Amino acid sequence: MAFSQAKGIIEIQNNSDLERKEAVVAIKWETILSHYSQIDTANFVVINTTTKKQIPYQLEHKGLPGIQNLLVQVNVKAKATVRLSIQKGKPNPIEVKTYARFVPERKDDFAWENDKIAFRTYGKAIENTNEDAYGFDVWVKRTNKMVVNERYKLGNYHKDNGNGMDYYHVGHTLGAGNMAPYIKDTIRYSANYHQWKVLDNGPLRTTFQLGYDEWNAGGVKVKAVKTISLDAGSQLNRVENVYTFEDNKPMPVVVGIIKRPEQGVVSLNEQNGILGYWEPTFKEDGTTGVGAILTTPVKNMLVNKEQLLAVIEVKNNEAIVYYTGASWDKAGKITNSGQWFEYLDRFSQELKNPMLVNVK
């Protein structure tokens, strides 16, 4: 018997034709409590009822005192259902697969990673120096272990010490999928983030918030808060941006990916909102794939001298969500442009066909 009251079976149903591997699924905590009112948050396990094995989980808070969701990581075949139950017991140690932190020792960087890829963005201390950059940076990796702390400690992360490196160049662009206002056909970059807050920090999902002080975006005064989540097993971040500005009418913004001078492979899928880029190979360092998926209608996609851009509109003080991220051929999973664009297309299809959760 799981607890003193009737058991609840958690059903995770995949109605799509896509097999879901390593998917992180959120189950509302209030739903869990309605079936397991006596649950001891420090002493329970989640069991796959078929295999009888423990499933890794995380209690998600979203920066709030109370638990908001139970996150589980599951594999669900196409057109199939996985059933889980909750029982008293000591959970197996759960491998840390996501992590983020503020890095004051490196000019206020903010860095984050999962078991596939790593990223960073730039803070206040680096502003007005020749190292400053506006966009998201990619740190490629070929290990499922966390590398951010080790790389900062070593200091020479531009060299591959066996698990990957930072050879991505951002400069004065949006880098790997950052967003900025696009007023009068010009990108209006903010300063770097000046506030940060970690809302959840693994082991299956890491979420943090970055705050941007008001800036003049081509005559429009704008503030921004960006909430970024990275799940275990995913090449892409979920980015939720809230722009605050005085206008009642929507404001155009762009999501951008830096383009290299050498020949790469570009994929612009305006209809499905997918921006894909397979970079030119960078000598012995390998090849990076970068991509973004928009969840709101795209007005236009274009390629200029410096960047691939997707133009969309945001409303004042309303959240807009998109996904952006990267892959590396030397990690051995996605090794050419076809596989990368297929990954982005599949990810887009998964967003449109979320798995259904039911607790009985």
Residue 295 burial by Cβ neighbours in a 10 Å radius (0-12, 13-18, 19+)? middle
Helix-, strand-, coil-residue percentages of the chain, each rounded to 5: 10, 45, 40
The distance of Cα 23 from the centroid of its chain, to the nearest Å, equals 13
Q: 69-79, pLDDT tens digit by residue?
A: 999 999 999 99
Cα separation of 155 and 205, whole Å?
Answer: 26
Average pLDDT, the chain: 96
Give the amino acid at 83.
R
Mean pLDDT of 271-291: 97
List the structure tokens of 332: 């051995």
C-alpha distance from residue 320 to each of 33, 198, 226, 230, 242 (Å): 31, 20, 10, 17, 7
Cα separation of 307 and 30, whole Å?
Answer: 44
Write out the CATH class of domain 99-352.
mainly beta
Q: Is the peptide bond before 203 cis (omega within 30 degrees of 0)?
A: yes
Q: 330-353, pLDDT tens digit by residue?
A: 999 999 999 999 999 999 999 999
The distance of Cα 191 from the centroid of its chain, to the nearest Å, equals 22
The distance of Cα 15 from the centroid of its chain, to the nearest Å, equals 24
What pLDDT is recorded for position 248? 85
Cα separation of 161 and 142, whole Å?
Answer: 11
Question: Which is more confidently placed, 83 or 3?
Answer: 83
Share of the chain above pLDDT 70, in %: 98
List the structure tokens of 35: 């079936």
Helix (H, G, I), strand (E, B) or coil at 131: coil
What pLDDT is recorded for position 5? 44
Q: 36-68, pLDDT tens digit by residue?
A: 999 999 999 999 999 999 999 999 999 999 999
What pLDDT is recorded for position 189? 98
Q: 10-44, pLDDT tens digit by residue?
A: 999 999 999 999 999 999 999 999 999 999 999 99
Domain 9-91, CATH homologous superfamily name and number: Golgi alpha-mannosidase II (2.60.40.1180)
Edge-to-edge strand list for the sheet holding 69-76: 20-28, 69-76, 57-60
In the 8-state DSSP scheme, what is residue 136? B
pLDDT band for 162, please (50, 70, 90 cuts): very high
Give the amino acid at 268.
L
In the 8-state DSSP scheme, what is residue 70? E
Cα separation of 347 and 284, whole Å?
Answer: 29
| Terminal CA-CA length for the chain | 15
For the chain, the domains span 9-91, 99-352
List the structure tokens of 299: 């007005």
What pLDDT is recorded for position 6? 47
| Under 8 Å between Cβ of 177 and 136 | yes
| Under 8 Å between Cβ of 77 and 169 | no
What pLDDT is recorded for position 302? 97
Name the helix (H) or strand (E) containing 161: none
**DSSP string for 311-323:** EEEE-TT-EEEEE
What pLDDT is recorded for position 1? 38
Q: Which phi and psi (to 5°) does residue 118 adopt?
A: -140, 160
Q: 197-223, pLDDT tens digit by residue?
A: 999 999 999 999 999 999 999 999 999
> Does the pLDDT at position 3 exceed 60?
no
Mean pLDDT of 161-173: 95
| Under 8 Å between Cβ of 178 and 239 | no
Share of the chain above pLDDT 90, in %: 96
